[in-house]
Amino acid sequence: MELLLATAIGLFTAAGLYLILRARTFPVVLGLTFLSYAVNLFVFVAGGVRVGAPPIVTGAPMTDPLPQALVLTAIVIGFGMTAFLIVLAVRLRRETGTDHVDGAP
């Protein structure tokens, strides 16, 4: 299972990196979304890969809660950032007539 997670993280990172190097704003937004997936998963698995051990105190063994708390806020903040970027992209198009990241093709 560790292998699956590691390859998925690698794949999301590669896709994210490729996309944020594109010249148009929209793929850059998508790329950042993919990078968020990768980073969130990375931090998540730092707490260990456990099945069926949610961090709820019941007496049974449970997984590490701290990375989850970090990732939870990261997901929400990531949404805020994505929303900001999307609106920035819309605004850029309105101002300059292009969706090129440099404001001019």
Partner 1 sequence: MSDARLLVLIVLLPFAGVMIPALLARRSRTTIAWASGVVPLAAFGLLVHLGRRVFAGEVITASRPWIEFLGLEIAFRLDGLAMLFAGLILAIGLLVIVYARYYLADEDPFGRFHAMLLGFMGAMLGIALSDNLLLTAIFWELTSLSSFLLIGYWSHRPDARTGARMALAVTGMGGLALLAGALVLGNIGGTLSISDLNLQGEAIRAHPQYPLALVLILLGAFTKSAQFPFHFWLPNAMAAPTPVSAYLHSATMVKAGLFLMARLYPTLAGSDLWFWMVGGTGLATLVFGAWVALTRHDLKGLLAYSTISHLGLITLLLGLGSPLAAVAAVFHIINHATFKASLFMAAGIIDHETGTRDMRRLGGLWQCMPITGVLAMVAAASMAGVPLLNGFLSKEMLFAETLALSGAGVAGYVVPLVATLAGVFGVAYSMRFIHDVFFNGPPKEFDRVPHEPPRWMRIPVEVLVVLCVAVGVAPAVFVGPLLHVASGAVLGGPVPSFSLALWHGFNLPLAMSLVAMVAGLALYFQLQRGGRLHAMTPGGWSGHRVYDDLVRLVVRLGEWFTGLAMAGGLRRQVAVLLATSFVAGIAPFVIADVPDRMFVFQTPMDPVAVTGWIVAAVATALVVAMHRQRFAAVILTGAVGLVVAGAFAHFSGPDLALTQIVVEVATVLLMLLALPHLPAVGALDSSALRRFRDAAFAIVGGVAMGGGAWWMMTRGGTTVSAEQAALSVPGGGGTNVVNVILVDFRGFDTYGEITVLAVAALGIVAMLSREPYSSPRPADAPLMLTLLARILLPFGLLVAVHLFLRGHNLPGGGFVAGLVTAATLVLIPLVAGRAFAERAIRIDFHRVTAAGLAIAGGTGLGAWAFGKPFLSSAHGHLDLPILGDLHWASAALFDLGVYLVVVGVLMLVLQGLARVVPRDTATGPGTR
* Rounded Cα distance, 90 and 85, in Å: 9
Q: Give least dist CB 8 to partner 1, A.
A: 6
Residue type, position 47, single letter: G
What residues from 28 to 47 belong to the interface with partner 1 (CB under 8 A)?
29-30, 33-34, 37-38, 40-42, 44-47
Site string for partner 1, 1-30 (x = CB under 8 A): xxxxxxxxxxxxxxxxxxxxxxxxxxx-xx
Establish if 89 lies at the interface with partner 1 (CB under 8 A): yes
Q: Give least dist CB 22 to partner 1, A.
A: 7
Query: Quick one: which of 62, 36, 35 has its CA closest to 48?
Result: 62
Establish if 60 lies at the interface with partner 1 (CB under 8 A): no
Helix, strand or coil, per DSSP, at residue 50: coil
